[in-house]
Amino acid sequence: MGEQAILEVQAWEALDSRGTPTVGCEVILSDGSHGSAVVPSGASTGRHEAVELRDGGTRYGGAGVLTAVANVEGPLAQAVSGLDASDQRGVDAALRAADGTSDLGRYGANAVLAISLATAVARASRVPLYAIDGHPPLLPMPMVNVISGGAHAGGALDIQDVLVVPVGARSFREAIEWAWQVRRATAECASAQGLPTALVADEGGLGPHLATNRAALELVVEGIERSGLRAGTEVALAVDVAATTFADRNGYDLRSEGRRVTAAELVSELAEWVRDFPIVSLEDVLAEDDWGGWRDATSRLDSIQLLGDDLFATNAARLRQGIEAGVANAILVKPNQVGTLTDAYDVVTAARQAGYNTVLSARSGDTEDSWLADLAVAWRTGQIKVGSTTRSERTAKWNRLLKIEADLGPAAPFASWPSSPDPPPPSK
């Protein structure tokens, strides 16, 4: 048995930030190292994501994960027992082979990812997670949630999030400080309009009911100006349209505004936003399978980052389809969409090699874990999106990045905008 062989796997039913059950896991290695991880889960999940296993029945309204927990401690633990934890690719391959399905529907992507993550964290008992493979570190540019709608805020808006990107920041510390200034100033602007600001959405953003989706962009720009920062040159906007959540057979239903639009009309409206606001990134501008609409959007909105989340679902095959079709130019990467760290890393690598930007992302139902921050640095994704500057499951990631920056010292490498670092080195 090797020095870092997997000796024991333990799992339990935990809670994510929305109070929904999820899988927690601890992996113990033969050298005494151990690591634990709690798997996140999403609210707006695309149908092309790996399958998250839920119990059904009456416990937790059917959302319990005791079956997935049993799968971690049973067949999946058996599959990795004695394997070298330093060979992440080998561990993840064994997990995938044990499940035997392309979407991890047999044992559950939440069960598989639990072991994959906990194994990586266990390896980091001696060396920081961002450094375990020896890759050159790169602190990511943060995308920070300021206003939420859609599935993150009870449908207060049709679009899901308006975020700020501190494009002029020279360090991660400065970037977070600027984002904090803008969020506070935006809350002050909202309060001055008589809008409530005490309660927040799933990811810590403000969730006011506004007359139009466009009004959310206007409010954040007002917040940037009130903060004393320059809109466009120092702080820009990103919008998660999350169009899949309001798409149907007849087009796109903007319920909060009481109107319906076609794909072409939605793209035209987004083009107006890009013209009128300092937007540098749009996410999920059309539904996950509206490839024709996406091609039109990519042609008409080629001056900014077009980010695919539901469109690509951290899926290598869908990413290849997008690259071949010339659709989008960036991908949101969520490890729980695909089920293992190796698969997520390979998607990052393939995207970078094709010239696509990469954004590592948390989920709306996230946890107090901070491993995502380390992965963004190690994988050199260039961008990270974890939510707002409030709620501890969000600040855990920001705080971890601030600590990594402090550890790396004054010359800590920070991704400038637009983000275009080289593809990450091969994983080990």
138-180 pLDDT, tens digit per residue, is 999 999 999 998 765 566 799 999 999 999 999 999 999 999 9
pTM reported for the whole predicted model: 0.95
CATH 3.20.20.120 placement within the chain: 141-408
Alpha carbon distance 358, 424 (integer Å): 11
Q: Say what the pLDDT of residue 154 is.
A: 65
Please write the tens of the pLDDT for every residue from 27-66: 999 999 999 999 998 765 667 889 999 999 999 999 999 9
Q: Is the pLDDT of residue 298 over 70?
A: yes
Q: Say what the pLDDT of residue 199 is.
A: 81
Please write the tens of the pLDDT for every residue from 3-34: 799 999 999 999 999 999 999 999 999 999 99
Average pLDDT rounded to a whole number, residues 381-400: 97
Fold of 6-126: Enolase-like; domain 1 (3.30.390)
Q: Say what the pLDDT of residue 329 is.
A: 97
Please write the tens of the pLDDT for every residue from 266-286: 999 999 999 999 999 999 999
Asked if 334 is an active-site residue, the reply is yes
Average pLDDT rounded to a whole number, residues 84-89: 96
Look-up: residue for tokens 């035209």? Answer: 268
Annotated active-site residue in 26, 203, 222, 283: 203
Write down the mean pLDDT value for the chain.
Answer: 94
CATH 3.30.390.10 placement within the chain: 6-126
Residue of higher predicted confidence among 296 and 133: 296
Alpha carbon distance 371, 227 (integer Å): 31
Alpha carbon distance 62, 57 (integer Å): 5
Asked if 49 is an active-site residue, the reply is no
Distances (CA, A) of 52 to 68, 102, 108, 113, 287: 9, 13, 5, 10, 21
* Percentage of residues of the chain with pLDDT beyond 90: 88
Annotated active-site residue in 334, 385, 393, 397: 334
Domain 141-408 has CATH 3.20.20.120: yes
